[in-house]
Structure formats: C-alpha cells, structure tokens
Amino acid sequence: MRRKREKGCLPLVVAVIVVAALSAAAFYVKKTYDATLDRIDKQISELPDFDEQATTKVLAEKLHLRYPVSAPEKTKKEIEKQARLQTKELTNAKFSSKRLALDINAILEKYKCVRRGDHVRFYLNTTRKFIYGTFQRILLERKDKFVIVDLDKYLFNDISSDYYYLFDKNLAGEMAARKVKEIKQKFKKSKNDFYENALNRIKAELYEQNGYVRKNGNWTSNYAILAERVANEKSDFNRAIQKKKNTILEKNQLFGLIPLTPREQKETSNVNENANKKHTGNQPGK
C-alpha cells in the first residue's frame, strides 16, 4: 500500500521539478533579456543628438552669411513684379512718346519739297561740292532740266540723287515715309533692348537686396541654401548614428544569437501603428 502511494506521488514530484526548472529558465531568460535591452538602451542613449542650431551657425559662417539668417521678406514672384514695374517706368521715361514725335517731326521737316525762297543745300557731283543758296525755280530748256539757286542754274542730272526729293513732292513724301518707318523700328528696338538690359540689372539688384544669390542659373534665397545644407548635414549625421546603432545591436544580441529591438524603436512603432489605425477608422465608410 505504501509503495503504491509512493509510486502515485512520483509523477507529481517530477511535474513540480519540471515546472520549477522551466520557471527558473524563463526567469533567467527574462532577466537576461531585460539586462541586454537595458545595455542596448543605455548605449544608444549615450549617442549624441543632432545639434541643429550649432550646425546652422557653423554653416552660416562657412557661407559668409550673417547669423541668424532670416527668410526673405519678399517672394520671387513679388520681386519679379516689382522689377517689371520699375523697369517699365524707367524705360517709358527714357523712350517717351514725346521724344518719338519730335524725331518724326524732324524727319518730316527735313524730307520735304522746297518752295521758292527756301534755303536749299544739295551736293553737286560734277564739282564734288555742296551748293548753298536760295531756291528760285525749276527751269526746263528743251530736254534739260535746271535748278535755279540765287542767280545760278545747275543741271538737274548733275545733282546727287540723294537730293532729288528736294524738287519732287511725291519723292519727298516717299522719302519721309520710309525714314519715319525706319526711325520707328529703331526706336522700338532700342526701347526693347533697353528694357531687357534694365530688367536684368534691376532684378539682380532686388534679388541681392532681399537675400538671394544666383545658383545654377536660378535665384535662390540664402535662407533656402542654408536650410538645404543643414538638411544634408542632418541626413549624413543620422546615417552615421544609425550605423552606430546597428553596431550596438549586433554586439548585444540575446545569448549572442537573437537580435533585439530597442525599446525606443518599439514605442515609436506602436505609436505609428495606433495612429494608422485611428486614421483608418476615421475614413468615410469605415
């Protein structure tokens, strides 16, 4: 009877021993796990954080910018608009309609047919000299045509053709119209060229006054350039820190075999997961 009771208790004892052993093993694993995570978290926490303010100041000095660097007060669109307005005012002041009208009147005054008593000047091919005097009249003798100036007469064919308009009303009108067209075209071209040159100069001045610099053919604010440099520095810094974190994780695997995830990374993953669930739950129709 006694032996039967002993035999009946044996499995229970074995079970208790196994449970105890498993509990001890679990406790050891948990303790080792927590200790490894603590070591990982401690080493990671000792890694430096990116000092954005200090980095910004150093980079500003390298770029020869006055720290702190502020965002430009005017946008590129505002600067372009101001430049066009200033250039238009400057161009209209220099190339006014009044100035063009005066030039046209001077052309019309110059290229007109002379009348009796007008002062005349023309070039004579035979003598290679200019003739000056008071126009009297046109004289026709047989097949020849003469121009009477003062008391002298000159063969019309001996006069340079550039001055025929002086004695031909229709020709004078054609010459005047051609010269007016030329001066209008020249005025327009000069005005456009002046506008383009002035616009480029004024834009450059306004951009520089508002903290922009020329980069790769485009105007970019010093503020944007500095921000880009800081972002690049931060990206390089984060890559270097991540490399160090990976090294810490490799050296602190559980029992040298099992890679662990830092507590901070777990918490971040949980936050993102909860945020995604909340966002999905708020969508229409969900």
Q: Convert the pLDDT of each residue in 91-126 to its tens digit.
A: 999 999 999 999 999 999 889 999 999 999 999 999
User: pLDDT at residue 263 above 80?
Assistant: no
> How far is 122 from 203, CA to CA, in rounded Å?
50
Q: What's the half-sphere exposure (Cβ side, CA atoms, 13 Å) at 12?
A: 5
Give 194's pLDDT tier (boundaries 50, 70, 90).
very high
Q: For residues 44-79, b (16+ Cβ closer than 10 Å) or e, as one string?
A: beeeeeeeeeeebeebbeeeebeeebeebebebeeb
Please count the other Cβ atoms lying within 10 Å of the Cβ belonging to residue 37: 17
- Please name the residues in contact with 214: beta carbons below 8 A apart, sequence gap of 6 or more: 204, 207, 220
99 and 202 Cβ atoms separated by less than 8 Å: no
Q: Convert the pLDDT of each residue in 270-283 to its tens digit.
A: 545 555 555 555 55
pTM above 0.85, yes or no: no
> How high does pLDDT run on average in the chain?
85
User: pLDDT at residue 74 above 70?
Assistant: yes
Place of tokens 């044996």: 10
Q: Please write down the HEC assignment for all residues of 123-161.
A: EECCCCEEEEEEEEEEEEECCEEEEEECCEEEEHHHECH
Q: Convert the pLDDT of each residue in 225-257 to its tens digit.
A: 999 999 999 999 999 999 999 998 888 887 676
> How far is 232 from 87, CA to CA, in rounded Å?
38
Q: Convert the pLDDT of each residue in 161-187 to its tens digit.
A: 999 999 999 999 999 999 999 999 999
Please count the other Cβ atoms lying within 10 Å of the Cβ belonging to residue 226: 19
User: pLDDT at residue 216 above 80?
Assistant: yes
User: pLDDT at residue 90 above 50?
Assistant: yes
Judged by DSSP in three states, 260 sits in coil
Q: Convert the pLDDT of each residue in 7-43 to its tens digit.
A: 556 665 556 666 666 666 677 678 878 888 888 888 8
**247 residue type, one letter:** T
- Tell me the DSSP string of 180-226: HHHHHHHHHHHHHHHHHHHHHHHHHHHHHHTTEEEETTEEEEHHHHH
